[in-house]
Amino acid sequence: MRIAVLGTGPVGQTIAAKLAELGNDVTVGTRSVEDAMTRSEPDDFGNPPFPEWAQQHPQITVATLTDAASGAELVVNATNGAGSISALEAAGQGNLAGKVLIDIANPLEFSQGMPPSLFVANTDSLGEQIQRRFTDTRVVKTLNTMNAYLMVSPKQLGGGDHTVFLSGNDSDAKVEVTQLLESFGWSDIVDLGDITTCRGTEMYLPLWLRTMSSIEDPMVNLRVVR
């Protein structure tokens, strides 16, 4: 499958690498290819600059947001939540129309420092804002309740005995995303319902961040016990 992963940060890199490993034709989308490919400083988490990652994954194409989205059958939004809508607008509404968009972003607000708050909550969500802005796109929110390494390799924690959620209005899109999650190794996939239900998973982030800080380990996730 031709998949565009929008975002060159750690989440985008991790998702893109896994999708390529599974045999997909992957393109990473960025606002400026030149800027992305000339970075020389580590990112905010101390990871090597993006060009080093790109060199290690020659099978993955790097393109503008527009070019990445236009050639894709499925799109992953792995951009910073505060810039997600503008990034998707740059990708092009027409290039997203009719396609499944997996939204991994969270509405984190860092203006007051750490830990971040949420710039939308309770009565709305980033996932809903994206769906309202791109009405012809089939948005499915998932994978936003854990770190990137667990997203693509759940079995490294508790043998995979933990839960991933998804929310979206289109049942066929959720079936497609479920199959992709299963290819990552997920077995406990909980469909919460329509796109409004992602308010819950986005509002979980403050608890996740505080738990991570308390136990000093980002490898933590929820398990729904029936």
- In the chain, where are the structural domains located? 2-215
List the CATH code of the domain at 2-215. Answer: 3.40.50.720
Secondary structure E strands in the chain: 2-6, 25-30, 61-64, 74-77, 100-103, 108-109, 117-118, 138-142, 163-168, 188-193
pTM of the model: 0.96
Q: Which tens digit of pLDDT belongs to each residue from 69-128?
A: 999 999 999 999 999 999 999 999 999 999 999 999 999 998 888 888 899 999 999 999
The residues with which 190 forms a beta bridge, in sequence order, are: 165
Q: What is the four-CA torsion angle of 126, 132, 135, 140, rounded to 10 degrees? A: 30
Binned at pLDDT 50, 70 and 90, residue 137 comes out as: very high
- CB neighbours of residue 191 within 10 Å: 17
Share of the chain above pLDDT 70, in %: 100
CA 27, CA 23: separation in Å to the nearest integer?
13
Average pLDDT score, the chain: 96
Please report the pLDDT score of residue 42 as a whole number.
84
In the predicted structure, residue 8 carries a pLDDT above the cut 90: yes
Please report the pLDDT score of residue 112 as a whole number.
83
